[in-house]
Structure 1
Amino acid sequence: MKIHINTTLAIFIFLLSACSLHAKHAKSRQHTAMKAHDFHKDESDLIPVIAALHDQMQTWVNTPYQWGGTKLNGVDCSGFIWRTLKDRFNIDMQRVTTRELVKMGRKISSQELSPGDLVFFKIHRQLHVGFYDTDGYFLHASVSKGVTRSSLKNPYWKSVFLEARRIKSEYGARISFNYPKTNHG
């Protein structure tokens, strides 16, 4: 009988300590999850931005490059940015050039990049621009590939990267989806 009580007591103490450790571990996991949620709280605001960029990309992907172009039959890098700002973010502005875009918004570091930020490159003596997408990629109108998605980690793009700028909030952007897929002008 004494052995049975000691065994029962030992099992009870073991279970009690295991539950205590589990509760501490669960509380720690919950705290970590809350910290992660706080850290990612603003990411939910980016979902519509990412969706709008991807919606625009589906419309424009493989559109050939055309200097000065703003239509689905040909677009240049600043034309693609302008159409996206106008069509997806409802920013009412006249056609802008890359030289004008590089003066808009506020300069940010490459570590601060979030979807919708503008990324600028200096290629020879010309400026090139695209939208930062996600995971180190950007959307742009490439001279050789037309409208495409490229990696900022690509050695070429790394070597010509100039700066990044954030303009979304400064211009009162409002997101639109499913813009008519016509050759709008």
Structure 2
Amino acid sequence: MSQWLSCASQFKALLLCSALIGCSSHPNVEFTPQHIISLSKQEKQLKRSLMAVYNVWQGVPYRLGGNSLNGVDCSAFVQTAYQQAMGYQIPRTTLEQVKIGREISYQQASVGDLVFFKTSPKVRHVGVYMGNKQFMHASTSKGIIISKLDNPYWASKYWHMRRVSFSFEPH
């Protein structure tokens, strides 16, 4: 009987760990109290504007070369997010986007910075940093989503971040 109780306890512990691990893989797209305190007034406004764009585009499927709500690729979505949230025009392709602004360190990241990944030897991916180690982007498998930079896949593909200088006026 005591062996059965020990197995049952281990099983419960395993279930609890599995549930916690499963929950940690979902991005937190809400403003957390600690995160709001750490953002400047401008970053808070910019995040609200970017979240408004995300709310319209969330789940739109990935389509290479696409630039509409019927399907969009990563660089077109980033271009659209900058235009709609900030009124700022950036180039259309990742190849051109990686040339704008200036490279910054991961520790300097601020809401609205571009985040770049090398997903294969010749393929680059781009998203918009949302603060709290999160970025929004066009995922090839899930469409427009918010992902965590410390997700093992994205952490292994991380290349660098770029800051584009612009003056933000909330829309």
Q: What TM-score, normalized to structure 2? A: 0.74
Match of 2:169 among 153, 174, 178: 174
Report if the CA contact (8 A) 2:117-2:157 is conserved. Answer: yes
Secondary structure at the residue paired with 1:153? coil
Aligned to 2:76: 79
Percent of aligned pairs with the same amino acid = 39
Gaps of at least 5 residues in structure 1 are: 1-38, 177-185
Report if the CA contact (8 A) 2:86-2:168 is conserved. Answer: yes
Report if the CA contact (8 A) 1:88-1:175 is conserved. Answer: yes
Instruction: Kindly provide the amino acid, as one letter, of the partner of residue 153 in structure 1.
Output: D
Displacement, 1:44?
1.4
Q: Number of residues paired by the alignment?
A: 134
Report if the CA contact (8 A) 1:131-1:138 is conserved. Answer: yes
Q: What TM-score, normalized to structure 1? A: 0.68
Secondary structure at the residue paired with 1:48? helix
Report if the CA contact (8 A) 1:62-1:146 is conserved. Answer: yes
Displacement, 1:74?
0.5
Instruction: Kindly provide the amino acid, as one letter, of the partner of residue 143 in structure 2.
Output: G
Displacement, 1:69?
1.0
Q: CA RMSD in A?
A: 1.6
Counterpart-to-counterpart distance in 2, 1:43 and 1:138: 18
Instruction: Kindly provide the amino acid, as one letter, of the partner of residue 98 in structure 2.
Output: V
Match of 2:159 among 153, 159, 162: 162
- Is 2:132 the partner of 1:140? no
Report if the CA contact (8 A) 2:115-2:129 is conserved. Answer: yes
